[in-house]
């Protein structure tokens, strides 16, 4: 059972997301939530619980909907989430949502361009094999670069999930190329799941 403060914020964000997706509210493109679906949030929450995850990385915070689903599970393990976002307005909204949901203590927002932040992190020994769970959900153009920078930072048996494998359809072809790129790597196992917008679920084997 999700606690009251978290479920209130998740409900509010789900309503907003529905209004945006059905175009019942007009929102400037840079302000849109572009959030994962509820069932995807539930899946991430379950994976984090199954893995007893302590350290999570997210690329693409937006207003924090996916982060809050994950924080609900990880905080029970006294775990921490680092989440990367470049849009200041969204960072402000995410921080407010984290406060309302009472999950701020588990989350650090890393502000800036994902490539620069990930490149810097990848040179720090601390992050070698560090993350139990990673969500890649920012711009799709750089998804292969993000994956290649992130993989060494993932623990053996750690999980990387990438959103938007199937929807919106405009990304489908490039995301297929991304999936084929992952499949060439003998150190991982990966599947494209039709849940939500299509989730690539990748496990680091060695």
Ligand X SMILES: C[S@@+](CC[C@H](N)C(=O)[O-])C[C@H]1O[C@@H](n2cnc3c(N)ncnc32)[C@H](O)[C@@H]1O
Nearest residue to 45 (alpha-carbon basis) of 20, 77, 22, 19: 77
The Cα 157–Cα 147 span in angstroms is 16
Using CB under 6 A as the binding rule, whether residue 199 contacts ligand X is answered as no
Q: How far is the CB of 16 from ligand X (least distance, A)?
A: 11
75: buried, middle or exposed (CB in 10 Å: 19+, 13-18, 0-12)?
A: middle
Q: How far is the CB of 190 from ligand X (least distance, A)?
A: 20
Write the interaction track for ligand X spanning residues 45-84; mark x where CB under 6 A is met and - where it is not.
Answer: ---------------x-x--xx-----------------x
Closer Cβ to ligand X, 31 or 155, answer by number: 31
Question: Rounded to 5 degrees, what angle do the CA atoms 172, 29, 116 make?
Answer: 70
Question: Cα separations (Å) of 164 from 24, 56, 65, 171?
Answer: 22, 19, 15, 7
Using CB under 6 A as the binding rule, whether residue 34 contacts ligand X is answered as yes
Q: Confirm if 136 and 147 have CB atoms less than 8 A apart.
A: yes
Taking contact as CB under 6 A, which single stretch among the options 29-37, 48-56, 119-127, 171-179 is the one that binds ligand X? 29-37
Q: How far is the CB of 73 from ligand X (least distance, A)?
A: 15
Residues in 84-123 that interact with ligand X by CB under 6 A:
84-87, 90, 113-114
Q: Which two tokens stand for residue 78?
A: 């006294």
Using CB under 6 A as the binding rule, whether residue 11 contacts ligand X is answered as no
Using CB under 6 A as the binding rule, whether residue 134 contacts ligand X is answered as no
Q: Which two tokens stand for residue 40?
A: 């995807």
Q: Contact positions toward ligand X, by CB under 6 A?
A: 33-36, 60, 62, 65-66, 84-87, 90, 113-114, 137-139
């Amino acid at each position: 059972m999700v606690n009251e403060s978290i479920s209130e914020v998740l409900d509010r964000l789900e309503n907003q997301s529905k209004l945006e997706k059905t175009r019942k509210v007009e929102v400037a493109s840079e302000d849109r939530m572009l959030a994962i679906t509820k069932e995807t949030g539930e899946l991430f929450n379950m994976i984090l619980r199954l893995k007893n995850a302590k350290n999570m990385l997210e690329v693409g915070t937006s207003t924090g909907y996916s982060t809050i689903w994950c924080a609900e599970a990880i905080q029970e393990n006294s775990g921490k989430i680092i989440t990367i976002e470049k849009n200041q307005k969204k960072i402000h909204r995410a921080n407010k949502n984290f406060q309302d949901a009472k999950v701020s203590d588990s989350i650090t927002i890393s502000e800036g361009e994902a490539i620069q932040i990930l490149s810097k992190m990848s040179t720090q020994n601390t992050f070698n094999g560090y993350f139990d769970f990673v969500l890649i959900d920012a711009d799709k153009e750089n998804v292969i670069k993000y994956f290649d920078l992130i993989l060494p930072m993932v623990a053996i048996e750690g999980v990387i999930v990438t959103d938007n494998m199937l929807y919106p359809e405009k990304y489908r072809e490039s995301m297929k190329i991304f999936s084929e790129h992952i499949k060439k790597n003998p150190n991982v196992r990966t599947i494209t799941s039709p849940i939500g917008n299509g989730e690539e679920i990748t496990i680091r084997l060695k």
